[in-house]
Amino acid sequence: MKILISLTYYSPYISGLTRTAQTIAEGLAQKGHQVTILCIKHDHKLSNTEVLNGVRIIRARPMMKISKGFLSGDFLLKTLKEVKKTDAVLINLPQPEGCWVAWWAKLRRKQVTALYQCDVVLPGGIFHKYIQELADLLNGVTLRLADKIIVGTQDYAEHSRLVKHYLNKTEGVLFPIEEISRQPKKASPKLFKFKKGDKKILAGLAGRMAAEKGIEYAIEAVSLFNNTNPEKKAKLLIAGPPNPVGEEIYRQKILGLVKMHKDDVIMLGQLKDWEMQHFYRILDMLLLPSLNLTESLGIVQVEAMREGVPAIVSDLPGVRVPVQLTGMGIITPPADSKSLSQAMAEIVNHKDKYQHRETARKMFDYQTALNIYEAIILSK
């Protein structure tokens, strides 16, 4: 079957939304489908078209950038051409321009599935308020036009600003999260000096340096842990791309905190897949202190659990579900450094209580989830 997948950002851009779309696209290609990605050329250095891991990528030229989105007449033209040639369409939301894909696909009588990954949550101010309302309007049009809607968890669907109005055609299915490739025998230069079982407690945080990630609360929590547990010093290892789109002010804030707490925090920068496997394996725990509904699951906590690492996560719809399903971690209130610190102490003092690796591996089986997504996308 020919499947068209639409989204704003695609590889090499790194985010949870992009990673999920890429995993689905490459998984479907491996199953024999002809998969095409239609996205925006967010970096002028990228090719207009290429084939990556069996997936054909078409990047539309943007006319202008608005917040983290784009205006692109080229995207509209490419939509007309690509929808005509496909059998089914998967639109990754949030994506304001996705409503054009949905509308044209419905006119061409194509099967339309919306994969709703998260709500749009922007900073305060009149401009961002307008952009958020406009994004909700356009994403809402896509949801109305879609034949089916997939959300990572039913918990998130029921609390989403938009999806809660379309529960009759929504299915909560955990994102397909592929196993990390096996690491080379040679250790990563960034990680070789860290070893699980050393005197220091190693807490990890993996993600973009973006405001919704709540990185400042993780830094404060580790500092507080060290002040209250002098006999068990902790280090926070932060892995992830250091220069995400539209986050310069937040980036400067975090770099200032890292400098202030230089004895407690180490910035590792972006790690390759095999380095991420090494990263998880040296951790005593993973921190996921997300602040709002921009985070709908937290792929990194699933990857950590598969490697036997418990997670401390915010009590947010979707984000709390992996811990609830496996018992591999602790759920804490968002924006609460003290609770994070207390949860760290709990895991350090009762490690065995949070060891359920095999449960996590069965619960988050990649192939099972991919098969369900394939059936929904291709169903009539």
Q: What is the pLDDT of residues 56-82, one digit of tens each?
A: 999 999 998 877 788 899 999 999 999
**Which of 56-70, 145-159, 314-328, 348-362 is least confident?**
56-70
* 55 vs 379, higher pLDDT: 55
Going by pLDDT thresholds of 50, 70 and 90, the confidence category of residue 230 is confident
Portion of the chain with pLDDT greater than 90, in percent: 79
Q: Does residue 192 carry a pLDDT above 70? A: no
Q: Beta partners for 213?
A: none
Report, as an integer, the average pLDDT of 369-378: 97
* Amino acid (1-letter code) at residue 317: P
Supply the pLDDT for residue 184: 58
Report, as an integer, the average pLDDT of 133-159: 97
Tens digit of each residue's pLDDT (9 = 90 or more) over 267-324:
999 898 888 988 999 999 999 999 999 999 999 999 999 999 999 999 999 999 999 9
Report, as an integer, the average pLDDT of 245-258: 88
Chain centroid offset of residue 301 CA? 10
**Could you tell me which of 43, 50, 160, 146 has the C-alpha nearest to residue 101?**
146
Going by pLDDT thresholds of 50, 70 and 90, the confidence category of residue 183 is low
101-105 LR contacts (CB < 8 Å, sep 24+): 101/4, 101/6, 101/38, 101/142, 102/141, 102/142, 102/145, 102/146, 103/141, 103/145, 104/79, 104/80, 105/4
Supply the pLDDT for residue 122: 83
What does the block give as tokens for 199? 């005197």
In contact, 34 and 377? CB cutoff 8 Å: no
Q: Does residue 185 carry a pLDDT above 60? A: no
Portion of the chain with pLDDT greater than 70, in percent: 95
Name the fold adopted by 2-177+365-378: Rossmann fold (3.40.50)
- Write down the CATH superfamily of domain 201-363: Glycogen Phosphorylase B; (3.40.50.2000)
Supply the pLDDT for residue 125: 85
* 245 vs 368, higher pLDDT: 368
* Amino acid (1-letter code) at residue 332: T
Q: How far apart are CA 53 and CA 309, in angstroms?
A: 29
Report, as an integer, the average pLDDT of 188-197: 68
Report, as an integer, the average pLDDT of 128-149: 94
Phi, psi of 201 (to 5 degrees): -85, 130
Supply the pLDDT for residue 196: 67
**Could you tell me which of 337, 341, 335, 334 has the C-alpha nearest to residue 318?**
334
* 44 vs 123, higher pLDDT: 44
Tens digit of each residue's pLDDT (9 = 90 or more) over 85-101:
999 999 999 999 999 99
Is the bond into 94 cis (omega within 30 degrees of 0)? yes
| pTM of the predicted protein model | 0.91
In contact, 344 and 336? CB cutoff 8 Å: no
Q: How far apart are CA 163 and CA 377, in angstroms?
A: 18
Report, as an integer, the average pLDDT of 327-345: 97
- Give Rg (Cα) of the chain: 21
Report, as an integer, the average pLDDT of 23-47: 96
CATH 3.40.50.2000 residue ranges for the chain: 2-177+365-378, 201-363
Q: Does residue 197 carry a pLDDT above 70? A: no
